[in-house]
Chain A
Amino acid sequence: MIPLYGFLEGDTIGLLVLANGDDSLAEVASKLQSAARLRAVIDGPITVLCGGQPIDPNTTVTEAGLQPLARVDVRRGRSA
């Protein structure tokens, strides 16, 4: 398991998300959305950012090179 700091746009707090190396970033985003659902939700397309850079959501955690306690952001809309 790889613990990650997840930040959902519209939420008020960072959450710890436990991911597997072969989880896609879309799955990580889904876990984060589920954990933050009481306070915030994004309807429609999302963008996943790792280290501030948008990454293809089909990329796995391992492929994205995410180390434990890396920051992952989930934002509204598709990246340009």
Chain B
Amino acid sequence: MLKRDDWLDLARKLDWELSYVSERDAFPEVQSGRPWLPQTDWAGWDEPFRTSYPEYVAGQQAKEASVAAVRAAVGRLEDFQRLPPGWLESLKLHAATLPLAEFAAVVGNLRAARFGRDSAWRSAALFGALDEMRHTQIPLLLMHDLVRWDPQFDWTHKLFHTNNWVAIAARHLADELLLASDAIEFAIATNFVFETGFTNVQFVGLSALAHGVGDRMFEQMVGSIQTDEARHAQIGAPVLATVVKHDRQRAQYLLDKWFWRSWLLFAVVTGFSMDYLTPLAHRQSSFKEFMHEWVLDQFVRSLDEFGLERPWYWDLFLEALDNYHHMVYASAYSYRASVWFNFVVPGPDERAWLREKYPASWPDFDPIWQRISDRWRASDPGNDFAVHGTAIVSFCDLCQLVLSGGTPRDNAANILDHGGRRYVFCSRPCRWIFEQEPDRYAAHKDIVKRVLAGEAPANLVALVQRYFGLDYATWGRDAFGGVYPWLDRSRP
């Protein structure tokens, strides 16, 4: 009987010499990506896991059994009902942004499983596609049990099917990253930047946070997903190495573009959770500290290893670490009826913690929360619309998120006239990304353009209900109805 290493490469690394079609016809650039190189230039491609199909099936079966066992033990409704309110909101946010994006990643992986330029790459991508199907199904299954208790959990499946502003931003990113990318861009953008750089470590951090608050089910879920991510993310590095060797400029461009795009989504989802929605007693580090320890150090090391530069906007990015998620959270809090999860006002203790963690920027945010707290103090408990914005907010024409770049002192939004249309961007990197490939992005309309074109209502309540897909049962509120122990309503 052959030993594993004697047969494995016959199964996973076997590239045929094509004779009936040309290599360019079998692997067209539009699907396989740039730079287009002959297979001989990819022949050395490899990744460390070198998984066989029987090993994959056995490993995944064990993981599924483990998730099922934890679900049976601590995945009941009563177990979720015991979790801190803020954490449940973090759960709703993550649950909604995760599964259907993962489902889009099935398509990206399958494109690589067909058009990746080396058979071992295609083999690893096929496992990646199977992984992503699992990552779609697990959160849909687990959160479905909670819908009868809290209809906001229905957005786990619903979000991506709506025109909610977060869904538009998430689709804009996921469509390009996962559905529209060729195999090379997918490998660098998704496997290397998004997964190796962000989500792989995000899941480690989230798993630890979930453990801290006692959410064993979520801890198990993200831990299980992370082990898949850690494997298929390995596709990215060897693809990047080959692209660097043959077209260093394109490699740098793809890294610069996707690091910024990934960062914006990551800051909103994980920044909200770590610095606002996780109860103070369970926070282990600030979002900024987490980014420095888990994302930046590793990413910079990777760049050095590949002989690449830090993105040109690196100083802006470091400034954004102090500001961006705080800008968006305060904005989103004051428009919380436009999303499907609830928010928490940071009280005096949380604000003291944030001041300690963000000494350079928090003095600009503290007065905002003081005003919001004062408004709640003067309002009846539960009267969310007394502490809510009414104007239409504005959105970036690239990332489709709100214009909350820069700082409270100096918003970084900037205007570009292109092809007879006016575009606005939340930041210089978003504008730069647009300018590199304007044909790719120019036809997309942000919410404001849809309102002005009469495609979406201009009235905020109508916009929330008729366009964003929310209703009284599901729109976001203050998680405590504005009733906080520290908020003394007897004070004038």
Contacts and interface: CB of A to CB of B under 8 A. Distances in A.
Contacts of A7: 403, 411, 413
A35 B393 CA distance: 10
Which size class do B's interface residues fall under? Answer: 35 or more
Given A10-B364, A38-B389, A40-B371, A15 B330 contact: no
Interface residues of A, number: 24
Contact of A14 (B371, B413, B451, B452): B413
Contacts of B402: 13-14
A3 B422 CA distance: 12
23 contacts: A7-B411, A9-B408, A9-B410, A10-B408, A11-B411, A12-B328, A12-B331, A12-B408, A13-B393, A13-B394, A14-B403, A15-B391, A15-B392, A15-B394, A16-B448, A38-B375, A39-B334, A39-B372, A41-B371, A67-B422, A68-B452, A69-B422, A69-B424
A16 B394 contact: yes
B327 A16 contact: no
Interface of A: 3, 5, 7, 9-17, 35-36, 38-41, 67-71, 73
B404 interface: yes
Nearest to B405: A14
Q: Chain B: interface secondary structure? A: mixed
A71 to B, nearest CB: 6
B387 interface: yes
B352 interface: no
A64 B102 CA distance: 48
| 3 A-B pairs with the lowest CB-CB distances in the bound complex, closest first | A14-B403, A35-B391, A13-B331
Given A12-B404, A17-B391, 15 more contacts: A5-B424, A10-B364, A12-B330, A12-B331, A12-B368, A13-B331, A13-B393, A14-B403, A14-B413, A38-B372, A38-B387, A39-B389, A40-B367, A68-B452, A71-B413
Interface in B443-467: 448, 451-452
B316 interface: no
Contacts of B365: 12
A39 B452 contact: no
Interface string B372-399: 1001000000000001111111100000
Contacts of A16: 391-394, 448, 451
Contacts of A14: 393-394, 402-404, 411, 413, 424
Interface string B323-360: 00011101100100000000000000000000000000
A45 B183 CA distance: 56
A10 B331 CA distance: 12
Contacts of A36: 391
B30 interface: no
A40 B334 CA distance: 12
